[in-house]
Amino acid sequence: MDVGFIGLGGMGRAMARRLLAAGHTVRVWNRSPEPVAELVAEGATAAGTPAEAFEAQVVVSMLADDRVVESLLLDEELLSGARAVAHANMATVSPALARRAAELHARHGIGYVAAPVLGRTDVAAAGNLNILAAGPSAELDRLAPLFEAMGRRTWPLGEDPAAANVAKISANFLLVSAIEAFSEAAALAEANGLAPAALLEVLTDSLFPGPVYAGYGAMITRQTFEPAGFRLALGLKDVNLALEAGADTQVPLPLASLLRDSLLQAIAHGHGEQDLAAISTTSRTRAGI
């Protein structure tokens, strides 16, 4: 397929490569030129502007946040001039933005699909992302080959793009919740003479298998937060998305509020660029450990 690809951060690069590897034609755009050059060397063509990327048959975008999507892509001129018939926004953005985007794209005859992903860059590089996809079913069908190239499984979540964003935000909210819970338990254990690592071993072999508890738990028991697999400041971004989605639909989320405050404290103490696991420092600070 002829694909425009917008946004070549760590995730975007890995995903665009998967498309190239699967034989798709990819025109890439990025604000800074280096990643474009890198991808062009691997077989992509360069788009000079987002509008050039929208001359492809379909567009995939992977930008940083609501603000960037809003300023670059939710643009009447861009969309009215586009040749693309579908746009898959795979970034973690708000359901509110998805609603605005879907309405605006529809007005210009472009199908808008929200398709945020679960998985970090290594997972993206291996084509093993979980893709949470929602939008008009014809567009979901059309984009299916691209999603297959990028993910291990595509989860169809209905016709309303916002639903996919809610799913992604919820997943990350649960992720941060699990880390906070283990952080508090680890502080309790330590203060009571139980090694957090011993506690973690029991938990991950019984109630809590899977990558989250094991992975973040190991960083917490070692209190080493670098390199940052998932930056703590991004965790705050995602928790804020949950809180805003809750506010927009009148759903109080007291646990998300608590996470926000812990994350803010971690940032105030200089952990914003470290891994999300550094939220555990607040549990220790509270206890004077």
Asked if 6 and 53 touch (Cβ cutoff 8 Å), the reply is yes
Determine the 3-state secondary structure of 93 from DSSP. coil
Q: What's the min distance (Å) between Cβ of 251 and its own copies?
A: 4
30 or 204: whose CB is closer to its own copies? 204
SS (H, E, C) 201-265: HHHHCCCCCCHHHHHHHHHHHHCCCCCCCCEHHHHHHHHHHHHHHHHHCCCCCHHHHHHHHHHHH
4 or 116: whose CB is closer to its own copies? 116
CA pair distance 22, 44, nearest whole angstrom: 12
Determine the 3-state secondary structure of 85 from DSSP. coil
Q: What's the min distance (Å) between Cβ of 162 and its own copies?
A: 6
182 or 225: whose CB is closer to its own copies? 182
59 or 189: whose CB is closer to its own copies? 189
Q: What's the min distance (Å) between Cβ of 77 and its own copies?
A: 21
CA pair distance 242, 236, nearest whole angstrom: 10
Is residue 237 among the annotated active site residues?
Answer: no
Burial (CB count within 10 angstroms: exposed 0-12, middle 13-18, buried 19+), residue 251? exposed
Q: What's the min distance (Å) between Cβ of 63 and its own copies?
A: 22
From the list 17, 105, 168, 271, the catalytic residue is 168
DSSP assignment of 149-203 equals: HHEEEEEE--S-HHHHHHHHHHHHHHHHHHHHHHHHHHHHHHHTT--HHHHHHHH
- Which residue, among 266, 265, 262, has the nearest Cα to 275 in the 3D structure? 266
Pull the structure tokens for residue 251. 């759903």
Burial (CB count within 10 angstroms: exposed 0-12, middle 13-18, buried 19+), residue 202? exposed
CA pair distance 243, 237, nearest whole angstrom: 10
> Which residue bears the tokens 């917008």?
6
33 or 211: whose CB is closer to its own copies? 211
Q: What's the min distance (Å) between Cβ of 98 and its own copies?
A: 10
46 or 255: whose CB is closer to its own copies? 255
Asked if 47 and 27 touch (Cβ cutoff 8 Å), the reply is yes
Q: What's the min distance (Å) between Cβ of 78 and its own copies?
A: 23
Residues carrying an active site annotation: 168
